[in-house]
Structure 1
Amino acid sequence: MFLLEESKNEEVVTTFAEFTSDLSALIKIPPFLNFFYPGLLNRILVSSGLYNPAIKHRNILIKYIKNQVCNRLQGKAKYGDSWKRPDDLLQDIIEQENIDFNNVNYPSLADKMLLFLFASIHTTSNGCANALMDLASRPQYMQELYEEQLEVHKEADENGVLPFEALDNMKKLDSFIRETLRLTGPNPKSFEPFRHIDKNAPASKISKNFVLFGAGKHACPGRYFAISEIKFFMHNIILKYNIRTESGKIEGRKLYGPTAYPSPSGIIIEKRKAK
């Protein structure tokens, strides 16, 4: 959770949804403009004027976190160790920053939250969309993945909720997702969804042939959570729906700088018939 009960506020939800798309629009600025005007993007992002898409969203977050920050700091000061700690991103940032009640830097708090938003929401949703598109355009793999998910779903409780450990048994789906996300490797233009199963290479593992999450000490620390989200998403889609394209093919992804956006092609989603 990013902001507990405020996460349900319509204005906050809109900011969560629009911030990434507003900022990502800058990626589509033609590279030649930055060639003629070095540092163009940096100048936009550090400006406080109308052309900086982050300012509007920062101000909205500040409006909603002020009371929460005050209440939390007061609660902690009053009740000490017996105070019930909110379990969300805002509280994590407050504790890491060791914030002084009399000198709260609200713009800094909001900026850190927006940074987490930008790093986590559109990246995971793009991964889900790309995996969905790859499966829709390759129906020959649907049955095999469906059978695996049926077997895995036997581990669900009476409410249909899977334990986290069930993710480890989605071997084929994990390999499919890694294949969707990869950029390099042997036969890079050939989609081979199960090539990673016997290579001890889960979708969250970094290597010289899998740089999506970076490398070394700077590798994305949220990659395990991101892959888990994609796997849970695909697990539910595969169990409940048949997905395909009208022609059996799909238009390629759109590349903007280092980002591969999902194909604009449409897909057909049909609910599976009950057996």
Structure 2
Amino acid sequence: MVLSTSTDPSLSDIIRIAAPVGVGIASVFYLAKLTRDRNAVKGVPIPIPSIRAGDATHDTEYFENPDAFLLRCEEEYGPVFNCYLFGRQMIIVSGPLVREVFLTEHLNFQDVINEISGVQAMTKGILKSHAKKGNKGIRQLVSDNIFPNISRFASRIEENFRWALETNLGQCENKLIERPLEIIQIMVARTMASVLMGPEIAKDSDVINSFAVCTADFATVLGKDYKLRWWQTFTTKAKYNTLNPLQKHVKVLMNAATPVVLERRRQENEAVEKGIPYDRPLDVLQMLLDNFDRYQFVDLEDICGHLLVLALASVHATSDSATTLCSYLATFPEHIERLYEEQQEVLGQVEKEHQELRQKKLESGEVANEQDFENTYLDPKNDRAFTTETVKKLVHMDSFVRECMRHKHERLSLPHKARTDVELGNGMVIPKGKQVIVNIRSVHHGETLQGEDPTEFRPWRFVGKSKAAIKVSSGFLTFGMGSHACPGRFLAIYELKTFFSLIIANYSKITLQEPPKTQAIPIGAGVLFTSR
């Protein structure tokens, strides 16, 4: 069996997974009371798995072997059961009923995130227009400005990753990167800064640092143990209102953006006076400036707050996933050459197609000469670049990414809170106000949804199937599902595939510093690189 360990478990729990953690100690009397009071719900009663002799809760058995514990519960009690984990009662939903958790309107993921992290108080502390009626919100900003422009950002993403790899690795033989996450996080932060705020601002080291560490600063407000106590929501909101750690990062972005925006305004006014079109910079900052009234922004500080939240939601998650992919690649180096072969085949195919199309346009007279292809998608310099056209054709790379992320996900994740009594398809009822948490093991490691050997790492598992890494489904929950599926997944997957395509293109040997001591993939362990 192949398992994976998180690069930063506590941070992952709060920011990406939003599952409350912390071992609780409860008496047998207390457990009995909970069983009597909370299990008496309408419909079919929700069973409670037996607790091992000598244990007060299910925590010990779960942490000894999460997969074995969850499998036991599924086999003995069915797809829905109560457990006493992480200091509280948890209703766990498995297998075929997981889909209902995501598609049922009255089971809400955001309610749990806010209860645990106080995210609404955080956003109110840095987004001036957040509470305004009609405000489009962060999700809309992503859908409007990032997703439709990925192909336009492609060359910049590749350029930044090339620069980062050359700077941090370059030509080398068995060069050790002892803590990959730290370096990858800076690479991703610089790339996202270029996309969100433009190349000139992306050169500012303070901006890069803010993009890289803002997620960690957000988590510090929650404390170190992350136990969900009765007073936690109140104190978290108070901290965000009075000592919001993200305010300092908004000021960093403001300091960097102000002179750039003023210069852009000057150039735009000058273009208007001359009666010529203004060459608008390609970045999300400019897009938000151009749609200032539509999004009901208050001022530039408000825009910078929104850009910081976009960084908060993307940089750490993408860096964490990239670190996971790096660890899997180093653990299974025998797959590197197949990825390289595919890459060369696709680049050669695209180059040939572009050459033929250029020749056709020249012969027909549609294009006068070779120079007319400059700065277009048929520019010869793009023939062997990792454009969206090329990256889309890398089906083995896509399968490798999806398989890594399938294994990476935590076993219990993506909690939802019932806003009303919710009856599931099997007749069991989730009482209003209670939380359910998804049994990811039953989905990502279930033979029905994944095929043969679901616990094994098989990098080409999805080749030839309609199961791309960006595609959410009941069998792939890394990005959620339904109306609340992560809108940033398209950019995240594109960045991951581009980043690792460049690694494959430049490094023939990628291995772990030390062989793994267990079956678990040592996520974030030292990695050795050797150039081609």
Q: TM-score range by the shorter chain?
A: 0.7 to 0.9
Identical aligned residues as a percent = 29
Whether contact under 8 Å (2:514, 2:526) holds in the other structure is no
* CA displacement, residues 106-153 of structure 1 (integer Å, 9 cap, x when unaligned): 432121010111122222222221111111111232232232223223
What is the CA–CA distance in structure 2 between the aligned matches of 1:18 and 1:237, rounded to whole Å? 24
User: Could you tell me which residue of structure 2 aligns to residue 198 of structure 1?
Assistant: 464
What is the CA–CA distance in structure 2 between the aligned matches of 1:246 and 1:75, rounded to whole Å? 52
Whether contact under 8 Å (1:137, 1:250) holds in the other structure is no
SS in 2 for 1:209: coil
Residue 229 of structure 1: how far off its partner (Å): 1.2
User: Could you tell me which residue of structure 2 aligns to residue 12 of structure 1?
Assistant: 207
User: Could you tell me which residue of structure 1 aligns to residue 179 of structure 2?
Assistant: none
Residue 221 of structure 1: how far off its partner (Å): 2.3
User: Could you tell me which residue of structure 2 aligns to residue 266 of structure 1?
Assistant: 526
User: Could you tell me which residue of structure 2 aligns to residue 259 of structure 1?
Assistant: none
Answering whether residue 211 of structure 2 is matched by residue 211 of structure 1, we say no
What is the CA–CA distance in structure 2 between the aligned matches of 1:38 and 1:168, rounded to whole Å? 45
Residue 202 of structure 1: how far off its partner (Å): 0.6
* CA displacement, residues 179-211 of structure 1 (integer Å, 9 cap, x when unaligned): 111244235532121111132001010001212
User: Could you tell me which residue of structure 2 aligns to residue 143 of structure 1?
Assistant: 337
Answering whether residue 310 of structure 2 is matched by residue 113 of structure 1, we say no
- Corresponding letter in the other structure for 2:241: S
CA distance 1:136–1:217, change in 2 (3 Å): same
Answering whether residue 505 of structure 2 is matched by residue 243 of structure 1, we say no
What is the CA–CA distance in structure 2 between the aligned matches of 1:127 and 1:94, rounded to whole Å? 31
TM-score, normalization by structure 1 = 0.80
Residue 62 of structure 1: how far off its partner (Å): 1.9
What is the CA–CA distance in structure 2 between the aligned matches of 1:247 and 1:64, rounded to whole Å? 42
Equivalent pairs counted in the alignment come to: 259
Residue 214 of structure 1: how far off its partner (Å): 2.1
Residue 244 of structure 1: how far off its partner (Å): 0.9
What is the CA–CA distance in structure 2 between the aligned matches of 1:85 and 1:27, rounded to whole Å? 41
User: Could you tell me which residue of structure 2 aligns to residue 60 of structure 1?
Assistant: 252
Flag structure 2 segments of 5+ consecutive residues without an equivalent: 1-194, 352-379, 410-442, 448-453
Aligned partner of 1:38 among 229, 232, 241: 232
Q: 1:55-134 residue pairs with structure 2 within 5 A?
A: 55-72=247-264, 79=272, 82-98=277-293, 104-134=298-328
Larger-gyration structure (1/2) = 2
Whether contact under 8 Å (1:137, 1:244) holds in the other structure is yes
Residue 48 of structure 1: how far off its partner (Å): 3.3
SS in 1 for 2:403: helix
* CA displacement, residues 47-78 of structure 1 (integer Å, 9 cap, x when unaligned): 232xx320111111222333444555566567
CA distance 1:132–1:109, change in 2 (3 Å): same
* CA displacement, residues 1-55 of structure 1 (integer Å, 9 cap, x when unaligned): 22222221232222222323333455773232x3243316742662232xx3201
Whether contact under 8 Å (2:222, 2:236) holds in the other structure is no
User: Could you tell me which residue of structure 2 aligns to residue 3 of structure 1?
Assistant: 197
Answering whether residue 489 of structure 2 is matched by residue 223 of structure 1, we say yes
User: Could you tell me which residue of structure 2 aligns to residue 189 of structure 1?
Assistant: 455
- Corresponding letter in the other structure for 2:463: I
User: Could you tell me which residue of structure 1 aligns to residue 440 of structure 2?
Assistant: none
Aligned partner of 2:400 among 170, 176, 184: 176
What is the CA–CA distance in structure 1 between the aligned matches of 2:523 and 2:479, rounded to whole Å? 21
Comparing 143-152 and 171-180, the one that deviates more: 143-152
* CA displacement, residues 148-182 of structure 1 (integer Å, 9 cap, x when unaligned): 22322324655742332112221111101001112
CA distance 1:67–1:246, change in 2 (3 Å): closer
SS in 2 for 1:31: coil
What is the CA–CA distance in structure 2 between the aligned matches of 1:17 and 1:25, rounded to whole Å? 15
- Corresponding letter in the other structure for 2:387: P
Flag structure 1 segments of 5+ consecutive residues without an equivalent: 254-261
- Corresponding letter in the other structure for 1:119: A
TM-score, normalization by structure 2 = 0.44
SS in 2 for 1:243: strand
CA distance 1:271–1:71, change in 2 (3 Å): closer
